[in-house]
């Protein structure tokens, strides 16, 4: 089956790339695209239909929200995104990309210590980013 690029699919890809450090539900994507003036902004049903296709072709990643069945979607940062681990801040929700070198060290250590091969493409490490940590230390004030 042939695939083709629609303007709505192009707009969806542009939105995800512009917000590559954030993961959204399909509903949040549709709302934010409309609020940010994407034209033509795809409707909610179109977003739900297009996101699995973007995941299938490797342009986006999909994962479950922590302790939830809610699916979140995020742009894949090029081909190299599959070669490192991802870090999610539980404070602000940003998703950061661990360096490939650090990812390799962690993965090798887990394999060596526990004889366990981690699936890097589906692994997300949760913690607190430097900005949120600074806000916690400063009592909620901006750093």
Dihedral sign (CA 46, 19, 5, 80): negative
Does residue 143 carry a pLDDT above 50?
A: no
Does residue 141 carry a pLDDT above 70?
A: no
Q: 3-state class of 13 per DSSP?
A: helix
Task: Give the residue among 69, 127, 141 at the shortest CA–CA distance from 95.
Answer: 127
**Tell me: the pLDDT tens digits for 78-123?**
556 677 888 888 888 788 888 889 999 999 999 999 999 998 877 8
**Tell me: the pLDDT tens digits for 30-68?**
999 999 998 878 899 999 999 999 988 888 888 876 677
Higher pLDDT, 15 or 122: 15
């Amino acid at each position: 089956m042939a695939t083709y690029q629609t303007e709505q699919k192009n707009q969806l890809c542009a939105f995800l790339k512009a917000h590559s450090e954030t993961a959204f539900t399909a509903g949040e994507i549709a709302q934010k695209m409309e609020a940010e003036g994407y034209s033509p902004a795809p409707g909610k049903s179109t977003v739900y239909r297009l996101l699995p296709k973007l995941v299938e072709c490797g342009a986006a990643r999909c994962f479950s929200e922590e302790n939830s069945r809610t699916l979140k979607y995020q742009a894949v940062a090029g081909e190299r995104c599959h070669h490192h681990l991802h870090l999610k801040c539980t404070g602000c929700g940003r998703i950061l990309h661990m360096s490939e070198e650090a990812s390799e060290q962690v993965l090798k250590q887990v394999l060596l210590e526990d004889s366990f091969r981690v699936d890097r493409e589906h692994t997300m490490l949760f913690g607190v980013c430097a900005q949120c940590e600074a806000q916690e230390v400063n009592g909620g004030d901006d750093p």
